[in-house]
Each structure stands twice: as C-alpha cells, then as structure tokens.
A and B are shown apart, each in its own frame.
Chain A
Amino acid sequence: MADAKPKPPILEVERLTKYFGGLAAVKDVSFEVREGQIFGFIGPNGAGKTTLFSIIAGALKPSSGKVRSRGRDITALKPFQLVQAGIARTHQIVRPFREMTVLENVKLASHFGRKNVTSDSAAEEHAMQILTWFGMETFAQKSASILSVGLQKRLEITRAMATEPDLLLCDEICGGLTHVETAAMLDWLRRIRDRGTTVMYVEHDVKAITAVCDRILVLNYGRKLSEGAPDHIQQDPAVIEAYLGHPPGRRQEG
C-alpha cells in the first residue's frame, strides 16, 4: 500500500461513512481503484453496496470521508460535474429516455459528455461511432421504449460510454439477464477496460464478479470485510462465512 505511486489512483475512497437516521449503512470504508482495472464490489443484501455506489456516483452525500480521483477531491461533486471529471455511471434499473430514439439517447451523452460537442452533426457522428462500437447501430432510429431488457441494458452502457469517461461505474448490469446475456455483458466490460476505461462494478451475483474483476472489495454490514484478487477473496474464510453463514471447512461452491 505504501509504495511510491507514479500517478494518483483514478478512484480513492477514504474512510467513507454514511448514516441513515442512527444507523451506519457504510462505515469507515477505504479503497483504491487503479487505472486499467475492473474493480468489483460485492456483499450480501444490505451490506451497503448501493449506498457506497450512490456516494461515489454523487447521488448521496457521505456523513464523513472523502472520495478522490487522480488526487482531486470529488466528494461534493454533483453527477453532472462527475461526468466532466471523467466519471460516468449506469443505473441498476435502466433509465432510457423513452420518448427519444436510441440515437437521440446516445447523442445527448455525446453533447453533454466530456467532449462537450456543441454541433448537432458532430454529436450525431460521435454517437453513431459509439453505437457501432457496441453493435447497436441497427437500432439507432428505433424508439428506446421498444428495446428488449437486454438491449436496454446495453443502451445504458453505450450511453454512459458516449460521455467518454475514464471511469465507468456499473450498478448491477446483469440483473434480470439470462446466462448467455450475462456472459455477453461481462465480455463488454472487458472490452471497455481494454479500450482504456477503468470499470468499477457492483454486483449481487458473486460468480459474475469473480469471473470478470481484477480486484474485488467485499462489504458486510457496511464495513470492508476483505479486498484482493478474485482467488484471494474466494479463499478468505471471513468472506465464506459472511456469504454462507458457517465457518469454512466445507467447499464454498456446491
């Protein structure tokens, strides 16, 4: 941890705490996300994943603690300012603009994203490029409301990527998808990482997370339980106990 850093990390969370009423949903959580990683966090229901995610995404204010990106304090930034700082997000429940076409959805992101494209035609061109990259170009003129759930989820990611982020925050993008669709979605995450965007990924599904992530943070009762590479996490007795409710001894997967 204390080794000399060539560059400050793309995301640095320092002692983040959030109270609701008297209850701490997140307590004293710290971690770092390095550039070029897919960083995942998991935890049982009510572990504080969503709260932590919302704070980083600027949707909630923490009670205390700091969030930094490349050394810059971004704790108080609003979602639209985060986009300008190179951080985009997807929503757990997809939120396409239903009265717009797929292209218009993405064009909006091109306009308002980090590129700040003001010209209508340049934005359209940019949006088409991104749509093509995600293999969605055939749906460009379709209304966003008629897409299947799988495609709506892909649109959600496409749209976020059209803001040209350095860090993409993904909230449970595989919920409600079939096995095949999940595998495809995870593949998109890898391609996004290989394209140069760091990914922070929250998921309920342990299998999906361990399959795709380079590094994983495990939350339990709002606290950090464990952190490390997927192998390390899967071997960690504390994690196994939190998930399966009994001490290690038996095999984790059954």
Chain B
Amino acid sequence: MSTSPAPLPIRLLAQWRTFAPSWMILAGLAVMPLLLSSPNFIRLLFVTLLWITTSVAWNLLGGFAGQISFGFAVFYGIGAYTTALSMNAGVNPFIAFLVSAITAAAASLLVGLPTFRLRGPYFAIATIGISEAVRVVMTNLSFTGGASGYRIVEHRAFRQLDHYYTALVLASIAVAFSVFISRTRFGLGLNAIRQDEDAAAGLGVNPYAYKLGAHALAAALTGMVGGVFSRYAAFIHPQGVFGFQTSVHILLMPVIGGIATIWGPVLGGVVFGIVEEQIIASFPEIHLFIYGSMLILIILVEPGGILGAFRKLLRRIHGRR
C-alpha cells in the first residue's frame, strides 16, 4: 500500500493538486475587496466569512464527532463579551480574540463534562438548557449592561479592511484545522465515535476525551468569531449574540451544506451568508418557517445536504456512461 512513510506535511505538499482550487479561492478572496471596494459588498463578504468559520467549527463536533449542539450561541456570545470587556480594558484586539477563544473553550467544558460521559440524548438537551440559562443570566448581569447591551470603545480609526482580513485569516485557519483533523488520528477517532461509539471505545478510542476535545476546539473557534464580530459591530447585546437565532444559524449552515464533510459546511456558510441577507430582508416574518422546513426536508430527503445531493448527481451521471 503506502510505500514511503513520508511525514504528513510533505505528503500534503505532494497533494498540492487537491488543494490548488482552495489556494485560488483564498487568493481571490484576498484581492477581491481591492477590486470591488463597495463597503456594503465587503461587509457581506466579512459576515459570510464569519458564518463559514462558525459553520466549520460546529461541524468539528456535530459533523465529525456526531454530537449535535443547539447551543453554539453560548460560545459566540462569550467570545463577543470577552473581547468587548478585554478591549475596553485596553487589551490589544488580537490578544482579546485569543482570550475569547480560551474563555469559550473553558465554557464548553461546562456542558461537556457532565454530559459526554453518558449515553443518550443528554448532551443535546443540555446545550438547549445552557444557552437559555446563559442568555437569561447575561440579560440580568449588571456589569455588562444587562439587556441594554454593551459598547466597545476602540481608540483607532475604523478600517473595514482590517476586519475583513481578520475574518479571512480566521476562516482559513478554521478550514485548515478541519482539513488537518480529517487526515489525522484525531479525526479518524472522531469519525469512529460518530459511527459507533462503543465499537470505537472497544478499539482504544477514548470517546469522552475526544468529544471534549472536539467541543473545546469548536467552541474556541466560535468564540473568536464572536470576538471579531463584536469588535466590528462595536455594540453587542445578549438577545443578539446569545440569541436563539444565533444557535439556529450556526447549526443550519453545516446541515444545509453537508454534515461531516470538509467543504459542506463552507458551502453552507456561503449559501447562508448570501441567502440569509435576502431572506431576512425580503421575508422577515417567515424566516423561521423557511429554516425549519429546510431542516425537515434535508433530513428526510437528503441527509448529506447540498454536497451529498451533488455527489449523488455526479454518481448518477457517471453511472449512465
């Protein structure tokens, strides 16, 4: 089979063809705002990149490890507030993002530690519980302004491109993580846990530690997104960043794109980033209906999402030849 046991980085380099399209997309995204400098367009790209990052992050846990969370708004919100508080205390924004990552990862243990040990639906249940509980607490917490929100004061001129490139780097990191994990022992272990936790444990995988690890990693990325968003928005409030909507969005994107794949969540993020703008703008009164029906349809018709449907189509075309 494998003739030369070359180390992973070298083998990745050898597979540059596989990644050529991704490098081209990345380069395109890097020069895009210089060519089309409409602030509104850059804002759309910025938001889409943030959505892609959360989508990829959710997929690390929900896709690879198969642990469905309905509460990623907790990490998004904690990240947003941590960055806001740190920046107002005079911390450099990029260090603030890292602090957000760490805080969010620590918060992930609050849900993971008691529930991942157990079999059954406990984790999913607890994620809904904690996101509600945290939102209510944040609405009542006085030092962050409670329900009326919190303002970030940055003593620097606002430069949209700074924010855009931060988001681009973050999204690239997330995708690189996703690619890397899917090719390592860690990813193989998560994959096995999703398919059959008992069988995985019987072959030496520690499901508890692996689920905790994937959860913490996903939370850290999501927390950083929250931080980047709060610096951009300069004003956050619990109903927004901790809102139920946020959790729904983060969960919806990877499911639409294709769960447990690398590019599915990215695709979901792109579709969502663009379509959500339109849906919310055109039909704000039925967007929940649209989200809900999409979930139901995908689960019953094509659980592989857009990517799954696309692959099936390709297979059918090849099969006819």
Contact = CB atoms under 8 A, between A and B. Distances in A.
Let me know if chains A and B touch directly in the complex, using CB atoms closer than 8 Å.
Answer: yes
Interface of A: 57, 59, 78-80, 83-84, 88-89, 91, 95-100, 103-104, 107-109, 111-114, 118-125, 128, 140, 159-160, 162-163
Interface in B182-238: 183-185, 188-189, 191-192, 195-196, 198-207
B281 to A, nearest CB: 39
Nearest to B4: A121
B188 A91 contact: no
A109 B203 contact: yes
B6 interface: yes
B189 A111 contact: yes
Contact of B202 (A88, A99, A119): A88
Interface string B41-54: 00000000000000
Interface residues of B, number: 27
B188 A95 contact: no
B2 interface: yes
Nearest to A84: B204
B8 interface: yes
A112 B189 contact: yes
Contacts of B201: 78-80
Instruction: List 6 tightest A-B contacts by C-beta distance, closest first.
Output: A112-B204, A121-B5, A83-B204, A95-B199, A79-B201, A109-B203
Interface of B: 1-2, 4-8, 11, 183-185, 188-189, 191-192, 195-196, 198-207
B207 A120 contact: no
Contacts of A79: 198, 201-202
Given A95-B196, A97-B192, A125-B2, A120 B184 contact: yes
Contacts of B195: 97-100
Given A97-B192, A97-B196, A120-B184, A83 B8 contact: no
Contacts of A89: 202
Contacts of B204: 80, 83-84, 109, 111-114, 163
A108 B1 contact: no
A191 to B, nearest CB: 21
Contacts of B200: 97, 108
Contacts of B184: 120
B315 to A, nearest CB: 14
B196 A108 contact: no
A112 B187 CA distance: 12
Contact of B203 (A88, A99, A121): A88
A157 to B, nearest CB: 12
Contact of A159 (B1, B4, B189, B203): B203
Contacts of A83: 202-204
B185 A97 contact: no
A140 B183 CA distance: 18
Contacts of B185: 111-112, 118, 120, 123
21 contacts: A79-B198, A79-B202, A80-B201, A80-B207, A88-B202, A89-B202, A91-B198, A91-B202, A95-B199, A97-B195, A100-B195, A108-B188, A111-B204, A120-B8, A121-B6, A128-B1, A140-B1, A159-B203, A160-B202, A160-B203, A163-B204
A95 B196 CA distance: 8
Contacts of B205: 80, 108, 112
B2 A121 contact: yes
Given A108-B188, A111-B185, A125 B5 contact: yes
B65 to A, nearest CB: 13
Contacts of A160: 202-203
Contacts of B2: 121, 124-125
Contacts of A121: 2, 4-6, 11
A122 B4 CA distance: 10
A228 B207 CA distance: 38
A128 B7 CA distance: 19
Nearest to A137: B1
Nearest to B193: A97
From B11, B185, B196, B198, name the one whose CB has the most chain A CB atoms within 10 angstroms: B185
A100 B207 contact: no
B70 to A, nearest CB: 24
B139 to A, nearest CB: 40
Contacts of A111: 185, 188-189, 204
Nearest to B117: A78
Of A57, A100, A107, A111, the most chain B CB neighbours within 10 A belong to: A111
A129 to B, nearest CB: 10
Nearest to B206: A80
B205 to A, nearest CB: 5
Contacts of A113: 203-204
